[in-house]
A and B are shown apart, each in its own frame.
Chain A
Amino acid sequence: MNRRVEQVVVVGAAAPAWMAAAALHRSLALAGVRARVIELPTLVQSVDVYSALPALAGFHHRIGLEEQLLFSACQALPVAGQRFSNWSGAAPPFIHGYDRAPPPAAGLGFTHVWIKGRQKGLRTEFENFSLGAMAARANRVPVPTEGADLHSSFGYNIDAGAYSALLRHFATRGGLESKAATIADVEVEADRIAAIILADGERIEADLFVDASGPQAVLIDRMPGAEFESWRKWLPCDRMLVVSGEQLRPYPAFSQISAFRQGWVGLFPLQDRTAIVAAYDSRQISDKEMLDRLPVIAKLPINGDAVVSSLNQGIRKRTWVGNCVAVGESAFSLEPIDAVQLHIAHNCISQLMTLFPVDADAFCEAELYNRIIRRVAINLRDFQAAHYKLNRRFDEPLWDRCRDAAVPETLQRKLDVFAARGRVPLYDDETFQEDGWESLFIGHGLMPQSYDPRVDATPEQEHIAQVQGRLQDIIGLVEAMPSVDDFIARTEHQRQAEAGAVV
């Protein structure tokens, strides 16, 4: 038997580091793997928000974290989708709702019935047929409904500092060791980290080092062959400004992303405030000017200080080198839209768990991890790049440039096949499934020129009935859902009742 990995050191801060540590501890502590966290000074500020996809619930379930804690301890609100406004000239906003794709082999998707309907004069927008989008519009929370044909689930907006603290508490309570420190040096021998040297002089060795330090990439950046590859030509914003705004009441069930001349502004509702995030191109607007104009663009009074940082979208050429694995934004980073931030960490950690090295002296898993992470990253990048490519804001330099520039071949194929036939070529390791891409493309105004010919095999009367039936179903399902305010109140009530029962 080969030598097993026994010592794992996670280096980083905030949620991604604790997510990685909790997952490692949960699955591997009993297998004799000791995970420790070297906790770097956090870069998370009190204004910061994590916007998360519904899949995060699955991660919490796996590590044994109760969802309720997000609402009671992290100011979290459930999110049924993201609303995009001002990306397409005079076109109305659209919502990307978190619908759950129907099981495969369900045959012909409803989308094609809708495309034909539009050609025949149907005026109802595509998003009216999305349960998630309609729940979002009505400020309702898509809790599961027994026996329904349509399903949708919710993600979260979470206070970043509180969530990081919650995960830290959760992980350390479970027996995980950690030490707050900064890194003075990394000893790299060939393609392996021999040890990291902390500022206090302590030398830390391990079989495997997990870099969860975010864009700083304190470990992976030292490794050979892990150069950073920028994606800025497709994702043009290089600055980010975060500030708090007033609480929105009643609570909305969606985040809002509004384009403006030099970038976009996102409103992420939380229980106690609204996190406002602006991403913009520094060649077009200065930080100061951005801050000055923000209240007008966000249409919301802002409170307190703003925090400005740089954005640098791209990927490491290799995300696992030797005994150093990057998870989260140390591996690749994107813009803080489409709720991908925590998803990046979540996905990398899941892949690492599946490919957890079997031999401390030969990390053959690295090559596969690199390929998978690259595919995951490229698919997500393409999703974000599509927002820019499909914009219809004319006579504005940033937007004109993005519309005219060539996009990666992987995205171009998706755009082409969708424009031609309303189908989305999906690749390996996609985060968003066909329904997500459809709502993105159609929402941004890319209307398919033709539809699946099988649609014509059904009489139009049946289509009309199908369209009406679906609208009715959605209205019924949405009406039965709790409002966000009710959902939060109920969750809080339940928590108190349980706390009371324990006492």
Chain B
Amino acid sequence: MSEPLDIVILGGGTAGWMAAAALVSLIPPTRCRVRLVESEEIGIVGVGEATFPEIKNFNDAIGVNEAEMMRATNGAFKLGIEFVDWGFKGSRYIHPFGVHGPAHMEHIFHHVWLRGLRLGSKSDIDEYSFAAQAARNCRFEFPETRRQTINSAYTYAYHFDANLYCLYLRGLAEQRGVMRTEGKVRDVIQDPESGDIRSLVLESGETISGDLFIDCSGFRSLLLANALGVGWDDWSKWLPCDRAFAVPSERDELSPYTRSTAMEAGWRWRIPLQHRTGNGYVFSSSFIDENEAADSLMRNLETRALGEPRMLKFQTGRRTVGWKKNCVAVGLASGFFEPLESTSIYLIQLAIMQLVPLLPDKSIDPRLRDEFNRLINLQYERIRDFLILHYKLTSRDDAEIWRYCAAMDVPESLTRKIELFRHGAIIERYKDGLFTPTSWLSVFIGQGLIPESYSPIADAMPAEKLICHLDEFRTEIRDRVDEMRRHDRFIDPYCAAKPPVVPVASEALQ
């Protein structure tokens, strides 16, 4: 057996510690040794207090106990995202983590529902999603494991304090053998011929060499961009927000969903945790000035603020490749999307879970690297289109940003998707991509795009029978949701955090 691969992770934010925890948990020390270099002087962004259901797969894979993790992070459950005032003022819809309609009708249900509308049924599509209804009623239970039951067809994610999650993973990773080195990087030494990174020189003078470097240095992308010169695809013309203010406020109702409210120059988030509510305003500096944005955020808080708003600057886009030579970027070093659909932690997880099975040997096989880059690019582009959809599909004309977005040209891949849905409620499926047809459906409909027509197959059922089926299904959901426990009552026995757990210094910025 050859010598283990020496992996050096630069940066100890969410990306760095997720990578460290996964590598040390999934790959034995005979195959790789993991070191993580971070500096306590450098703040972390702590992206994403809101997550996507895939995170449960990640936690399960690396052996995280869910209840323990939630206690340690003030975590709460999440069944979807509510969008308020997107599409048009006064609109309100949920992007649920579960299908609309009965599971066996997944491909045809929305056509049946559209026919129902034509026949005069006044129901909202949310009313056919178990997850959406449970969310609206502040209920939570684990999904039923027997398939084909009405309460089995959904998944869930978490709201948690990302800094505490990061600390939790750090504990786990160090306990399992990751070596942490405190220090700032002064210099990156590259092989003069191959250009591969050989070592990092810290300000202390210590040299840390490695075979594979994982760049988790955040927006600065110290290794991939600075040392290896990988370029940037700028997507800000489609996703114009470039700043966010974040502020915590006192705990409010523990609703099991993220709320996103469209504002005069961006949107505002509300993320309920056990001990507080996370709030933020994501905005475009081209459409509002910073002070005004901060005022708007503070003015709209539903509970008392627990601090001053803190600002974060960003740019939407991605590195043209995520893996070059012997350096793989994970997290913000590889690209950034605003947190509209809670994708930040998912993208970290994706990169790690693609890297693990393709982990190279000391001499890097370019076939593995190319496959990694192909998969990551595919996912980035599909997420990009889905986020742009929220901005493009609006009829709001009360603010400059919305007029700009409604009129902007979007990538052709997205134009096609919108036109197919408009024409006949058609949603193209794909294999590698976070957002399912259910996700696309909820945003299309929720933002007011009612298709011109629907599949003729939905015409085969007699009208009265169809209306009757729709009514029955809605009632079935309502009745079952009524039997569920309230979210806060579910959390109490399962994973209530032991107060007080919130050192002020670790307040997440978002």
Interface residues of A (CB under 8 A from B): 1-2, 4-5, 27-33, 105, 107, 353-359, 362, 364-365, 367-368, 413, 416-417, 419-421, 423, 425-430, 450, 452-454, 456-457
User: When A359-B423, A364-B419, A416-B367 are in contact, do A4 and B27 touch as well, CB less than 8 Å?
Assistant: no
User: When A354-B107, A417-B371 are in contact, do A453 and B27 touch as well, CB less than 8 Å?
Assistant: yes
Query: Are A423 and B459 in contact (CB-based, < 8 A)?
Result: no
A111 CB to nearest chain B CB (Å):
12
Taking CB atoms, residues of chain A closer than 8 Å to B454 are 358
Query: Are B460 and A28 in contact (CB-based, < 8 A)?
Result: yes
User: When A367-B416, A417-B368 are in contact, do A2 and B456 touch as well, CB less than 8 Å?
Assistant: no
Query: Are A358 and B27 in contact (CB-based, < 8 A)?
Result: no
Within 8 A of A (CB), among B420-442: 420, 423-426, 428-431
Q: How many residues of B contact A (CB 8 A)?
A: 43
A258 CA to B371 CA, complexed, in Å: 33
A421 CA to B26 CA, complexed, in Å: 17
Q: Which of B226-234, B326-334, B355-363, B475-483 contacts A (4 or more CB under 8 A)?
A: B355-363
Taking CB atoms, residues of chain B closer than 8 Å to A423 are 357-358, 371
B488 CB to nearest chain A CB (Å):
30
Given contacts A362-B423, A364-B420, A417-B371, 7 further A-B contacts (CB under 8 A): A32-B456, A353-B457, A364-B423, A416-B371, A423-B358, A453-B32, A456-B30
Q: Tally the A-B contacts, defined by beta carbons under 8 Å.
A: 113
What secondary structure prevails in chain A residues at the interface with B? loop
Determine if B206 is an interface residue (Cβ-Cβ < 8 Å): no
Contact string against A for B residues 157-184, beta-carbon threshold 8 Å, 1 for contact and 0 otherwise: 0000000000000000000000000000
Query: Are A359 and B424 in contact (CB-based, < 8 A)?
Result: yes
A104 CA to B459 CA, complexed, in Å: 34
- Closest residue of chain B to A26 (Cβ to Cβ) is B460
Taking CB atoms, residues of chain B closer than 8 Å to A367 are 416
Taking CB atoms, residues of chain A closer than 8 Å to B457 are 27-28, 31, 353, 356
User: When A30-B460, A452-B357 are in contact, do A457 and B28 touch as well, CB less than 8 Å?
Assistant: yes
Contact string against A for B residues 236-256, beta-carbon threshold 8 Å, 1 for contact and 0 otherwise: 000000000000000000000
Taking CB atoms, residues of chain A closer than 8 Å to B419 are 364
B256 CB to nearest chain A CB (Å):
23
A33 CA to B455 CA, complexed, in Å: 12
Query: Are A27 and B426 in contact (CB-based, < 8 A)?
Result: no
Query: Are B460 and A27 in contact (CB-based, < 8 A)?
Result: yes
Query: Are B365 and A4 in contact (CB-based, < 8 A)?
Result: no
Contact string against A for B residues 27-66, beta-carbon threshold 8 Å, 1 for contact and 0 otherwise: 1101110000000000000000000000001000100000
Query: Are B455 and A358 in contact (CB-based, < 8 A)?
Result: yes
Query: Are B357 and A368 in contact (CB-based, < 8 A)?
Result: no
Interface residues of B (CB under 8 A from A): 26-28, 30-32, 57, 61, 107, 118, 356-359, 361, 365, 367-368, 370-371, 374-375, 416, 419-420, 423-426, 428-431, 452-461
Query: Are B57 and A450 in contact (CB-based, < 8 A)?
Result: no
A348 CA to B455 CA, complexed, in Å: 17
Of B57, B357, B460, the residue contacting A31 (CB under 8 A) is B460
B416 CB to nearest chain A CB (Å):
7
* Shortest beta-carbon contacts, A-B, top 6: A31-B459, A358-B424, A358-B453, A30-B460, A420-B367, A416-B367
B458 CB to nearest chain A CB (Å):
8
User: When A4-B456, A28-B457 are in contact, do A454 and B357 touch as well, CB less than 8 Å?
Assistant: yes
Query: Are B431 and A428 in contact (CB-based, < 8 A)?
Result: yes
Query: Are B371 and A419 in contact (CB-based, < 8 A)?
Result: no
A453 CA to B420 CA, complexed, in Å: 42
Query: Are B26 and A454 in contact (CB-based, < 8 A)?
Result: yes
A364 CA to B428 CA, complexed, in Å: 13
Query: Are B358 and A425 in contact (CB-based, < 8 A)?
Result: no
A2 CA to B357 CA, complexed, in Å: 50
Taking CB atoms, residues of chain B closer than 8 Å to A421 are 357-358, 365, 367-368
Query: Are B27 and A456 in contact (CB-based, < 8 A)?
Result: yes
A424 CB to nearest chain B CB (Å):
10
Query: Are B424 and A364 in contact (CB-based, < 8 A)?
Result: yes
Query: Are B460 and A425 in contact (CB-based, < 8 A)?
Result: no
Query: Are A28 and B456 in contact (CB-based, < 8 A)?
Result: yes
Query: Are A417 and B367 in contact (CB-based, < 8 A)?
Result: yes
A359 CA to B431 CA, complexed, in Å: 28
User: When A32-B459, A365-B424, A456-B27 are in contact, do A105 and B367 touch as well, CB less than 8 Å?
Assistant: no
Query: Are A428 and B430 in contact (CB-based, < 8 A)?
Result: yes
A56 CA to B453 CA, complexed, in Å: 31
Most buried by B among A353, A367, A419, A457: A457
Taking CB atoms, residues of chain A closer than 8 Å to B361 are 450
B95 CB to nearest chain A CB (Å):
22
Taking CB atoms, residues of chain B closer than 8 Å to A2 are 452-453
Query: Are A457 and B27 in contact (CB-based, < 8 A)?
Result: yes
B406 CB to nearest chain A CB (Å):
22
Taking CB atoms, residues of chain A closer than 8 Å to B456 are 4-5, 28, 31-33, 356, 358
Taking CB atoms, residues of chain B closer than 8 Å to A425 are 371, 374-375
Query: Are A105 and B27 in contact (CB-based, < 8 A)?
Result: no
B176 CB to nearest chain A CB (Å):
12
Taking CB atoms, residues of chain B closer than 8 Å to A29 are 460
Taking CB atoms, residues of chain B closer than 8 Å to A354 are 107, 455
- Closest residue of chain A to B359 (Cβ to Cβ) is A453
A453 CA to B375 CA, complexed, in Å: 19
- Closest residue of chain B to A353 (Cβ to Cβ) is B457
Query: Are A420 and B426 in contact (CB-based, < 8 A)?
Result: no
User: When A368-B428, A423-B358 are in contact, do A453 and B453 touch as well, CB less than 8 Å?
Assistant: no
- Closest residue of chain B to A452 (Cβ to Cβ) is B357
A356 CA to B108 CA, complexed, in Å: 12
User: When A454-B27, A456-B31 are in contact, do A368 and B367 touch as well, CB less than 8 Å?
Assistant: no
